[in-house]
A = this chain, B = another copy of it.
Amino acid sequence: MRSKDENKELVIREKAIEMIVNEGFDGLSMQKLAKEANISASTIYIYFQSREDLLNKLFIEVQEKFEKDALKNFDPKMDFESGLWLQWKNRYNNISKNPLEFQFHEQFRNSPLIRHKDIKPTAFKELMNEFVRNAVKKGELVNIPIVHYWAIAFGPFYTLVKFHVEQASMAGTPFTLKEQSLKQTFNLVMKALRP
């Protein structure tokens, strides 16, 4: 009996994301993907049920990886400023290490494909809610609806990061955003969020 080549599935995933980022969803055909991965098109169907299944699995994989990595060293009992800053830095690190995955994720999130999936509420979300509740209780954070909090706490972060990712992507240069820039923006955000 022959066993599945784990590396082969990885190549399919990598090339698929690369093609989608560079050419969009309609730029990803199974035959072109096969050629890029140096395999036969029919081989893809051993690893994925269909094109749609492939896309969904890619999204879920990236989403889960990003959520998990965002919580590295994080504890909802941390003081608010340290906890939020840790999240900014974690997310920043993930994006600079995986700009293609990030762009794929953004593209998927902004497309109607996202509607065909039901996004299950993750433990991630509950952990963040706890973090926010604690901070309000301790008087470290203004008491506002959670969506307002998300908008202010992460809106500036993603706007800033996306700007730099897009700049780099268009110019063909590596993604660069100095930690000092991030910190300066973060300090202003904290000013908004403190009671």
Contacts and interface: CB of A to CB of B under 8 A. Distances in A.
A123 interface: no
A160 B170 contact: no
A27 interface: yes
Interface of A: 21-27, 106-107, 109-113, 115, 142, 144-145, 147-148, 150-152, 154-160, 163, 169-170, 181, 184-185, 188-189, 191-193
A53 to B, nearest CB: 16
For this chain, the copies found in one complex come to 2
Interface centre among A23, A109, A152 (most CB of B within 10 A): A152
Contacts of A154: 159
Contact of A148 (B21, B115, B169, B185): B185
Interface centre among A25, A156, A158, A189 (most CB of B within 10 A): A156
Contact of A27 (B112, B185, B188): B112
Interface centre among A145, A159, A163 (most CB of B within 10 A): A159
Given A151-B157, A152-B189, 8 more contacts: A22-B112, A24-B112, A25-B25, A109-B110, A145-B181, A148-B181, A152-B185, A155-B155
B188 A192 contact: yes
A107 B106 CA distance: 9
Contacts of A144: 184-185, 188
A154 B160 CA distance: 10
